[in-house]
Amino acid sequence: PEQTAAATPEVTGAIMPGETDNPLSEEKLVALTFDDGPYGEVTNRILDVVEQYAEYGVHVTFFALGSQAEKFPNTVKRAADLGCEVANHTYSHKNLTKISEDERTSQVEDTADIIESITGTRSKLVRPPYGAKNDDVRATVKYPLILWSIDTLDWKTRDAKSTIDAVLNNVSDGDIVLMHDLYDATAEASKTIIPELVSRGYQLVTVSELAQYRGGLEAGKQYFSFRPQN
């Protein structure tokens, strides 16, 4: 893939260092999300990019598995310390529509406990594995359910160029982008996606930040994107 100039996006409209405290309601916003990790060096490579662009206020969201967070607590802590959101993707990637209410609750709450024990912050968001949800799930999972509006299919292609194109050819204000911090190709893609979105004037925010500026969140409701409200 074409290399984008590193720390100095020059396209007009880019948010410059020091401007990130401005009200985000006026900005173009996008939330990049990474599921199924943390996974060793892949997550750390993504965090390296986040850290590289920290002066632009770049934050992403990880929908972590509780089982993986237990294996890589230092990575979870690093993500949180960089201002990223570590949210809940269940303990072991169970389809929440196919398990009992008790198991559903333990899958979600055990993971929230693990994340809180590492970061000190209790996750307020759940992404249901496989995007699987129904009335039972909505009624019993006491958190907002976060889906997505751009599916990169990175798990299928495992190709950086395909993942880059899926984002950059489709992105618009308020999108939630689905990726997975399991694949080297996804980490590689983030090295292009993040600076290019910054250079296009997008503020890369967490899902909770995006929601905060676009109408908020309610437990038991599902969200695919947060478009501007005009």
Distances in whole angstroms, Cα of residue 107 to Cα of each of 39, 64, 70, 94, 130: 19, 12, 14, 8, 14
CB-closest chain residue to Zn ion: 35
147 vs 168, which CB is nearer to Zn ion? Answer: 147
d(CA 119, CA 79): 9
Query: Least CB distance from residue 129 to Zn ion, whole Å?
Result: 5
Running DSSP on this structure, what letter comes out for residue 23? -
* Interface residues toward Zn ion, by CB under 5 A: 35-36, 129
Q: Is residue 89 flagged as an active site residue?
A: no
Task: Report whether 179 contacts 87 (CB < 8 A).
Answer: no
Query: Least CB distance from residue 123 to Zn ion, whole Å?
Result: 15
d(CA 9, CA 178): 24
What does the block give as tokens for 16?
A: 């410059």
Catalytic residue among 21, 35, 110, 154: 35
110 vs 173, which CB is nearer to Zn ion? Answer: 110
36 vs 159, which CB is nearer to Zn ion? Answer: 36
Catalytic residue among 21, 180, 181, 184: 180
Could you give phi then psi for residue 68, rounded to 5 degrees? Answer: -80, -35
Q: Is residue 110 flagged as an active site residue?
A: no
66 vs 129, which CB is nearer to Zn ion? Answer: 129
Query: Least CB distance from residue 180 to Zn ion, whole Å?
Result: 7
Query: Least CB distance from residue 147 to Zn ion, whole Å?
Result: 12
Signed CA dihedral, 209, 210, 211, 213: sign only = positive
Chain-centroid distance of CA 217 in Å reads 16
Active site residues: 35, 180
